[in-house]
C-alpha cells in the first residue's frame, strides 16, 4: 500500500489534534487532583471543557480539526467502553431497570412539550420533533438518527443540534453545583443527570464532576436511555410511512437499524461482563488492572470534553433565533423536573 503525502497529512492532523486534546485533558486532571478543595468540587471534565471553550476563540491550524472531532466523538465512545471495567453487570442491569420508568416519563413529557409549545411558538413540526427527541434521548445522535426518518432538511437539523448543544454545555456547569445545593445523594444525582441531561458526553462529565459513584450511575442510566432511540425512531418511521400512504405518496422516510444503533453500548456491556466474571473468579491480579483501565476511561472523558470544548462556537449557537432556544429550554426544564418528581415518588432521591 502506497502512502501518499495527502494520506500522511491526514493522519498527522488526526494525531496532532488528538494530542492537543490529550494535553488539555492532562492539564484538567492535574487541576482536579492538585487544586485544594475546589479541584475535586469542580471536576476534571468541567476543567477540560472550559479550557477547550476558551482556546476555541483562538485561531488554530486547519489540520487540527480532524483530531479534535475524533477526540470529541470516538475517544468518548472508547472511554465509555473502558469505564465498563469498573462496573458490575448485575448493578448495571439493576440500575437500568430501576430508572426505566423515569426514562419513559421524561421522554413522553419532552415530546409532548415540544409538540404543544412548538405550535404556540410557530416552530416547524420537524424542528419540534428533533428538539424533543434530542432533549429526551441522546442529543445530537438522536437528532441525526431521526432526521432522515422524518425527512428533515439541513436547516432544521442545524437548528435542533445547535439548540441541544447549548444546553449540553450549560448542563455540565449547572447540574453538579445544583445537585450539591439540593443535597442530592450520589445515586440520586447520577439518575437525575442520566435522565435529564441531553448528550452522553455531558451526562458523563456532569456525573463524574459530582462524584465517581454518581458518574457510574449516570453512565449506566444514560446508556440505557440511549437504547430508547430504537423504539422511538421505529415509531416515527411507521408514522411517517402511514402518513405517506394516506397522502398517496411513496416517500415514508428512511430507516436503518445499523446506523442508529449505539454500538459502543455493547462494548460497555461486554467490559462490565468481563469485569464481573474475573472479579468473582478470585483472580487477584485483575483488581489493579481493572482499576487502571477504568481510570484510563475516566481520563479519556476529559480528553473528549476538551475536544467538545474546542469545537464549541458560542456565537453560532444564537444565530438561529431565540424560538428554538426557548423551546429547548422548556423541554429541558420539563425533563429535569419530571425526573426529580418521579425519583421523589419512587424513593430514589
Q: Could you tell me the pLDDT band of residue 192, with boundaries at 50, 70 and 90?
A: very high
Q: How far apart are CA 342 and CA 349, in angstroms?
A: 9
Mean pLDDT score across all residues of the chain: 83
Q: Say what the pTM is.
A: 0.76
* pLDDT > 90? residue 24: yes
pLDDT at 248: 61
Which 3 state secondary structure label does DSSP give 88?
Answer: coil
320 vs 177, which has greater pLDDT?
A: 177
pLDDT beyond 80 at 38: no
Cell of 97: 431497570
Q: pLDDT category, 226, cuts 50, 70, 90? A: confident
Nearest to 72 by CA among 135, 131, 22, 143: 22
pLDDT at residue number 19: 94
Look at residue 21 and tell me whether its pLDDT is greater than 90: yes
pLDDT, tens digit, 9 for 90 and up, residues 311-346: 877 666 666 668 888 999 999 999 999 999 998 888
pLDDT at 244 over 70: no
DSSP codes, 140-198: HHHHHHHHHHHT--HHHHHHHHHHHHHHHHHHHHHHHHHHHHTT--HHHHHHHHHHHSS
pLDDT band with cut points at 50, 70 and 90 for residue 250: low
| pLDDT given at position 96 | 80
Domain coordinates of the chain in residue numbers?
88-299+312-346
The mean-pLDDT minimum among 18-27, 58-67, 243-252, 286-295 falls in 243-252
Residue-level pLDDT at 72? 85
Helix (H) or strand (E) holding 64: none
User: 58-116: per-residue pLDDT in tens?
Assistant: 888 888 999 998 988 888 889 888 988 988 888 888 888 888 899 889 989 999 999 99
DSSP of 291-343: HHHHHHHHHHHHHHHHHHHHT--TTGGGTT-SHHHHHHHHHHHHHHHHHHHHH
Position 112 scores a pLDDT of 93
What's residue 97's pLDDT?
83
Q: Is the pLDDT of residue 233 over 70?
A: yes
Give yes or no for residue 5 having a pLDDT over 60: no
pLDDT of residue 249: 57
Amino acid at each position: 500500500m502506497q502512502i501518499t503525502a495527502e494520506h500522511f497529512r491526514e493522519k498527522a492532523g488526526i494525531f496532532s489534534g488528538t494530542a492537543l486534546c490529550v494535553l488539555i485533558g492532562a492539564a484538567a486532571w492535574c487541576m482536579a487532583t492538585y487544586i485544594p478543595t475546589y479541584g475535586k468540587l469542580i471536576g476534571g471534565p468541567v476543567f477540560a471543557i472550559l479550557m477547550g471553550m476558551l482556546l476555541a476563540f483562538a485561531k488554530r491550524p486547519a489540520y487540527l480539526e480532524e483530531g479534535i472531532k475524533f477526540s470529541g466523538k470516538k475517544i468518548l465512545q472508547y472511554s465509555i467502553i473502558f469505564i465498563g471495567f469498573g462496573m458490575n453487570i448485575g448493578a448495571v442491569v439493576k440500575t437500568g431497570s430501576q430508572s426505566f420508568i423515569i426514562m419513559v416519563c421524561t421522554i413522553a413529557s419532552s415530546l409532548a412539550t415540544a409538540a404543544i409549545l412548538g405550535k404556540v411558538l410557530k416552530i416547524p413540526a420537524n424542528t419540534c420533533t428533533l428538539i424533543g427527541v434530542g432533549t429526551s434521548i441522546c442529543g445530537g445522535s438522536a437528532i441525526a438518527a431521526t432526521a432522515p426518518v422524518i425527512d428533515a432538511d439541513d436547516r432544521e437539523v442545524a437548528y435542533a443540534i445547535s439548540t441541544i448543544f447549548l444546553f449540553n454545555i450549560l448542563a455540565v456547569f449547572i447540574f453538579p453545583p445544583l445537585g450539591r445545593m439540593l443535597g442530592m445523594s450520589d445515586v440520586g444525582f447520577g439518575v437525575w443527570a442520566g435522565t435529564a441531561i441531553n448528550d452522553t458526553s455531558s451526562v458523563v462529565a456532569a456525573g463524574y464532576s459530582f462524584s465517581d459513584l454518581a458518574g457510574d450511575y449516570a453512565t449506566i442510566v444514560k446508556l440505557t436511555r440511549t437504547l430508547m432511540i430504537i423504539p422511538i425512531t421505529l415509531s416515527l418511521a411507521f408514522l411517517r410511512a402511514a402518513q405517506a400512504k394516506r397522502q398517496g405518496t411513496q416517500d415514508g422516510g428512511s430507516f436503518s437499524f445499523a446506523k442508529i444503533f449505539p454500538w459502543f453500548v455493547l462494548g460497555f456491556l461486554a467490559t462490565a461482563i468481563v469485569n464481573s466474571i474475573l472479579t468473582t473468579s478470585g483472580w487477584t491480579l485483575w483488581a489493579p488492572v481493572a482499576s487502571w483501565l477504568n481510570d484510563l476511561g475516566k481520563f479519556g472523558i476529559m480528553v473528549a470534553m476538551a475536544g467538545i470544548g474546542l469545537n464549541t462556537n458560542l456565537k453560532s449557537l444564537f444565530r438561529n433565533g431565540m424560538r428554538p432556544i426557548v423551546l429547548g429550554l422548556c423541554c429541558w426544564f420539563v425533563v429535569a423536573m419530571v425526573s426529580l418528581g418521579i425519583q421523589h415518588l419512587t424513593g430514589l432521591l
